[in-house]
Amino acid sequence: MERLFHLNKLGTNVKTEIIAGFTTFLTMAYIIVVNPAILSAAGVPFNQVFIATIIAAVIGTLIMALFANYPIAIAPGMGVNAYFASVVATHGVTYQVVFGTVFLAGLLFLLLTFTNLRELIIESIPAPLKYGITAGIGLFIAFQGLKMSGIVVQNPETYVAFGDLRNPVTTLSIIGLFITLILTTRKINGALFIGMFLTAIIGYFMGMLQIEGIIAAPPKPVFFDLDITGVFSNGLYGVVFAFLLVTLFDTTGTIIGVTEQAGLMKNGKLPRAKAALTADALATTVGATIGTTPSTAYIESSSGVAAGGRSGLTTLTVAILFLVAMFFSPLVAAISSLSAITAPALIIVGSYMMGGLAKINWSAFDEALPAFLVILTMPLTASISTGIAVGFITYPILKLVGGKAKEVHPILYVFAVLFIVQLVFFT
């Protein structure tokens, strides 16, 4: 293990990495249930999406573990699955056609990965935006946790409001939050994982965790015919571009945020970036052929990093747990369906990701405002890629009008234009 994952060099050990892997898996296991639910509404068979989701997650996560050695898990992304369903509905095409657009986006991913473009993107992002992306993801995670717990709810007048503390899910979430806070304050190793475990036990005795079965045989994956010709005959080039752009920057932003949180960025550069960026591209391409939407790096990986994960052993654990989950689908579905178990961890992890804000020069308006807009936009739009887009647009513009155009990498000007096009035409 030491030779493969360099645990001593990274200041970690096997026990910590495995606990971190369990923590990451539990915070993202909902995708096993949610993804099939969303795509089945578009006509894709539920069991097909269930097994495809797991296979794509295992492929991407194993690449990340064994070749990149990063504690970042890969799985089909949230957001793009909803977009997939909307394309099927609004364009009047079959889901096989839309999977064709996903497949083409995956191929473009691979082509970009084999070049130095994706690495160049990471290296060209200025420090204030990197810190802003990390903090924005932290707020995004915390906001998701608040919504999942019912502490924050929708309100037609103010958009959001304080929830009803008497709601059983909210009550359990708050109990779990305080348990985890106490464990964290006491510096107990694996506090997040232990907190989720204890919350699940309490939820079971409160009658909120309904376990109707434990083991079930996994469905067999089916490779179906992609209707790539339908992509061209229906002119779905914009859909391909949207899948590519959103997933590209969701993954890039998440990798930056999580590696920055873990202290794995080296002088603003990401070692083994090509291997890390191949993981989601290959998972997306394979996933499209068996029935799932584009894969991305998961922001929930930050919960594993917060639990001490620093190497690919964390993600190897996640991949193994995804494989095990194929045989325990009823149990996984039950745990994933009770949001009070994972919501406290997301809220706490969000606070861990605020540290980089101290490194931003808030007195320099042309650097502070783009970072602030990234931080503000991500949770309010529920979109990492939109937050990144706003930052990529405003940063070069402010530098340009301030007479500091040469301080901006040329690629940022290119992406500023592309992001403007995306926000106007492909949101």
Q: What stretches of 39-186 adopt beta strand conformation (E)? A: 74-76, 152-155, 159-162
pLDDT surpasses 80 at 190:
no
The length of the chain, given as a count of residues:
427
What is the structure's pLDDT at 168?
95
Q: What does the alpha-carbon distance between residue 288 and residue 294 come to, in Å, rounded to a whole number?
A: 7
- Work out whether the CA dihedral 162, 164, 168, 171 comes out positive or negative: positive
Q: What is the mean pLDDT of residues 182-197?
A: 85
Bridge partners, 74 (sequence order): 297
Q: Are the C-beta atoms of 68 and 276 separated by less than 8 Å?
A: yes
What is the structure's pLDDT at 426?
65
Please, how many CA atoms are within 13 Å of residue 409, restricted to the half-sphere of its CB? 14
| Arithmetic mean of pLDDT over the chain | 88
pLDDT surpasses 70 at 68:
yes
What is the structure's pLDDT at 336?
66
Which residue did the predictor score with more confidence, 278 or 241?
278
- Nearest Cα residue to 247 out of 138, 364, 384, 371: 384
Confidence of residue 20 (pLDDT cuts 50, 70, 90): very high
Name every residue whose Cβ is closer than 8 Å to that of residue 377 and which is 6 or more positions away in sequence. 136, 383, 386, 387, 390
pLDDT surpasses 90 at 388:
no
What is the structure's pLDDT at 169?
95
State residue 81 phi and psi, 5-degree precision. Answer: -70, -35
Rounded percentage of the chain residues whose pLDDT exceeds 90: 44
Helix axis angle for 117-124 and 95-114, nearest 10°, is 70
Give the DSSP letter string of 185-237: HTT-TTHHHHHHHHHHHHHHHTT------S--PPPPP------HHHHHHTTTH
pLDDT surpasses 70 at 427:
no
Q: What is the mean pLDDT of residues 171-178?
A: 96
Average the pLDDT over each of 196-205, 224-233, 280-289 and give the range with the smallest value. Answer: 224-233
Rg, C-alpha atoms of the chain:
21
Q: What is the mean pLDDT of residues 307-329?
A: 93
Q: What does the alpha-carbon distance between residue 154 and residue 163 come to, in Å, rounded to a whole number?
A: 9
Burial class (CB in 10 A: 0-12, 13-18, 19+), 343: buried
Confidence of residue 330 (pLDDT cuts 50, 70, 90): confident
Strands 152-155 and 159-162: antiparallel
pLDDT surpasses 70 at 42:
yes
Confidence of residue 244 (pLDDT cuts 50, 70, 90): confident
Helix, strand, coil % (nearest 5) of the chain? 70, 5, 25
Token digits for 144?
């998701």
Name every residue whose Cβ is closer than 8 Å to that of residue 235 and which is 6 or more positions away in sequence. none
Q: Are the C-beta atoms of 28 and 73 separated by less than 8 Å?
A: yes
**Residue type present at position 406:** K
Q: Are the C-beta atoms of 395 and 129 separated by less than 8 Å?
A: yes
Average the pLDDT over each of 17-31, 56-70, 114-128, 269-283 and give the range with the smallest value. Answer: 114-128
pLDDT surpasses 80 at 228:
yes
Confidence of residue 241 (pLDDT cuts 50, 70, 90): confident
Give the DSSP letter string of 303-323: HHHHTT--SHHHHHHHHHHHH
